[in-house]
Amino acid sequence: MPQSTPAPAAAPAPETEPPPPRFPLARGCPFDPPADYAALRAEQPVTRVRVPSGQDAWLVTRHEDVRRLLTDARVSADRGHPNLPLTEAVTPASRQAIAAVGRSLIGLDPPEHGVRRGMLITEFTVRRINTLRPYIQQVVDGLLDDLLAGPRPADLVAALCLPVPSMVLCELLGVPYADREFFQRRATVQVRRGVAPEERQKAGAELRAYLDRLLTEKEADPGDDLLGRLIVRNRAAAAADAGEPPFDHNLLVGLAMLLMAAGHESTANMISLGVAGLLENPDQLAAITSDPAAIPMAMEELLRYFAIVDTMPRVAKADIELGGVTIQAGDGLLIGFASANRDETVFPNPDTLDVRRGARHHVAFGYGVHQCIGQNLARAEMEIVFRTLFARIPGLKLAVPLHELSFKDDSSVYGLDRLPVTW
Amino acid sequence: MSGNLVRILADRDRCIGAGQCVLSAPDVFDQSDDDGRVLILPHAAAPHSDPANTTIPPQSKGPLEAATPPASTGLSDAAPPQPKGPLDAAASPNPAGLLDTPAPPVSEGPLVDEDVARAAVDLCPSRALSLARP
């Protein structure tokens, strides 16, 4: 494949050249990223691939290169850029939706991004998230009470993995108790594969309409919750600058949708994959059940090992020399989080799940200024779920063989559709 | 613990409040309740520190490289003497990266163990931390 003379970003390589491999590459073991990543890291660390959205893009597979690009001002997160490589088939409408989601936060570049993120970071500090721990514990305890009282086998995705983050998001955002059932039903339908696309879109639209109304109410009477405090800070920032607030109403709705999208299915997937991974590796499970103090670092290893976000799309704003190639201005980039997390030059025996590894420098939450703002919330949820689940149900086991589980191979966020368990 | 002591410089304008430093070294770092950004605790653990070292005047500090992977790090005594401040942009393998940030306000901390400091610098996603030898 062409290494030194890349084709223009939006156009496939000339037909005389063999086309680049199709992305995503195939997985072998469902717990591992595509096996070809190892050879790419060794031989072609920045390589051309063809994505389902029709473009060719540069796949970046080494840990060092991933972190370098994510801290490089020549790399843009613009979700509206036509060359942004998307790993799911897209329509013009879905591209517009992706661009719209990006406008509130994740698709912005410095300095605009820093202003918006700066409005939010007090909500996600380690200390602030720790104040949510008693609520998270209460949620997990209640869901496990229900699970234990119900039939066996049970689907842990529906019983625990999805409801934990969804209920915690309601608390975080300040969704009134009376609305939470409405909210959670739609939040779950929206992310549930196997549900008809129209039904998912309808749930998403209802969720957006709900958050629009909720924000209108909070603009009139901001409560002491994330969205209420954000509204107050937003007005204070506008008053201090005698200008426009960083977030207008539509951007606030977009942000609330983004927090929902980013904080719901991702955490659920980490829980479902993590439970499956530990049940398949009983020695690793024993290492955390025998020593609860080991759980926080074990969560880092689960995050490294499963890296549910395989790649993150970016676009080059200027020419960049990297890994023996010239990435040209306008080229799409796929930043390989899952590959970086298995980089053997950074993590010895990278394909071994080792909960005692003690490595925090994975990129499961990304790197650079866009690193996951909710990462400490995800850690808190995971820690409480894993500690409580295996303490309450020490005999937990898979109800079907591993190879019968339904993995989300064609989804931009990897995980399990269902996790049948018994005890 | 390396036994060597260094100072950590924190550029609060660059900080994005991810909290990685707090998780990595809770005795050294905190996050402000006011803006969520990094704080270096004034009495951070400084094992084996010589109290005399803590009074070294700031102008004698030599800046060191920042945010390089552990495998390629090494305190460089050859770093040219400069006013206090992080040198990560100049030492970066891609000088265009993050140079859009103007001269940053820098906060300083006490002396901390070099291994602890390097781990925090490496983890910081916004490259807001750098090291300086006292």
ipTM of the complex: 0.90
Q: Which chain A residues are within 8 Å of B24, Cβ to Cβ?
A: 360
- Nearest chain A CA: its distance from B96 CA (Å): 7
Q: Which chain B residues are within 8 Å of A383, Cβ to Cβ?
A: none
- Mean pLDDT value across residues B25-39: 95
- Nearest chain A CA: its distance from B26 CA (Å): 10
Whole-angstrom CA distances from A365 to A68, A108, A243, B86 are 15, 17, 33, 25
A116 to chain B: nearest residue by CA?
B16
Q: Assess whether pLDDT exceeds 70 at residue A386.
A: yes
Q: What is the 3-state secondary structure (H, E, C) of A165-217?
A: HHHHHHHHHCCCHHHHHHHHHHHHHHHCCCCCHHHHHHHHHHHHHHHHHHHHH
pLDDT tens for A302-311 read 999 999 999 9
Q: Which chain A residues are within 8 Å of B125, Cβ to Cβ?
A: 70-71, 366-369, 371
pLDDT-derived band at A53, boundaries 50, 70, 90: confident
For residue A343, give the 3-state DSSP assignment.
coil
Residue A388, both tokens: 């409580």
B33 to chain A: nearest residue by CA?
A122
Q: Which chain A residues are within 8 Å of B97, Cβ to Cβ?
A: 68, 71-74
Residue A21: predicted pLDDT: 94
**Residue of B20, B97, B123 lying closest to A71 (CB–CB):** B97
Residue A329, both tokens: 């201005």
- Mean pLDDT value across residues A12-31: 82
Q: Which amino acid is at B8?
A: I
Residue B108: predicted pLDDT: 65
B22 to chain A: nearest residue by CA?
A126
Q: Assess whether pLDDT exceeds 70 at residue A219.
A: yes
Q: Assess whether pLDDT exceeds 90 at residue A13.
A: no
Whole-angstrom CA distances from B108 to B39, B44, B54, B79, B99 are 9, 11, 12, 19, 21
- Nearest chain B CA: its distance from A76 CA (Å): 12
Whole-angstrom CA distances from A169 to A93, A162, A252, A344, A378 are 27, 11, 15, 36, 11
- Give me the residues paired with residue A314 across strands: A333
**Residue of A70, A125, A346 lying closest to B17 (CB–CB):** A125
Residue A283: predicted pLDDT: 98
* Binary contact (A111, B100; C-beta < 8 A): yes
Name the percent of chain B in helix, strand, coil, to the closest 5: 20, 20, 55
Please give the radius of gyration of chain A, using alpha carbons only, rounded to the nearest integer: 22
What does the alpha-carbon distance between residue B60 and residue A6 come to, in Å, rounded to a whole number?
49
What does the alpha-carbon distance between residue B115 and residue A368 come to, in Å, rounded to a whole number?
22
pLDDT-derived band at A11, boundaries 50, 70, 90: low
- Nearest chain A CA: its distance from B50 CA (Å): 30
**Residue of B23, B30, B36 lying closest to A122 (CB–CB):** B36
pLDDT-derived band at B84, boundaries 50, 70, 90: very low
A102-131 residues touching B, CB cutoff 8 A: 110-111, 114, 117-118, 120-127
- Mean pLDDT value across residues A31-45: 97
Using CB atoms within 10 Å of the CB of residue B43, give its burial: 0 to 12 exposed, 13 to 18 middle, 19+ buried: exposed
Q: Assess whether pLDDT exceeds 60 at residue A10.
A: no
Q: What percent of chain A shows pLDDT beyond 70?
A: 96
Q: What percent of chain A shows pLDDT beyond 90?
A: 80
Pairing relationship of beta strands A56-60 and A332-336 according to DSSP bridges = parallel
* Binary contact (B69, A64; C-beta < 8 A): yes
- Nearest chain B CA: its distance from A341 CA (Å): 14
Q: Which chain B residues are within 8 Å of A345, Cβ to Cβ?
A: 71
Nearest to A33 by CA among A69, A77, A66: A66
- Mean pLDDT value across residues A117-141: 97
Considering only residues A66 and B63, tell me which one the structure prediction assigns the higher pLDDT. Answer: A66
- Mean pLDDT value across residues A184-200: 80
Residue A266, both tokens: 């991702």
The total number of residues written for chain A in this structure: 423
pLDDT tens for A244-267 read 899 999 999 999 999 988 889 899
Q: Assess whether pLDDT exceeds 70 at residue B15.
A: yes
Considering only residues A90 and A301, tell me which one the structure prediction assigns the higher pLDDT. Answer: A301
What does the alpha-carbon distance between residue A313 and residue A69 come to, in Å, rounded to a whole number?
11
Nearest to B94 by CA among A71, A83, A345: A71
* Mean pLDDT across chain B: 67
Q: Which chain A residues are within 8 Å of B119, Cβ to Cβ?
A: 360
Give the pTM.
0.87
pLDDT-derived band at A217, boundaries 50, 70, 90: very high
**Residue of B32, B98, B122 lying closest to A361 (CB–CB):** B122
* Binary contact (A73, B98; C-beta < 8 A): yes
pLDDT-derived band at A200, boundaries 50, 70, 90: confident
Residue A195: predicted pLDDT: 76
Nearest to A31 by CA among A409, A420, A334: A409
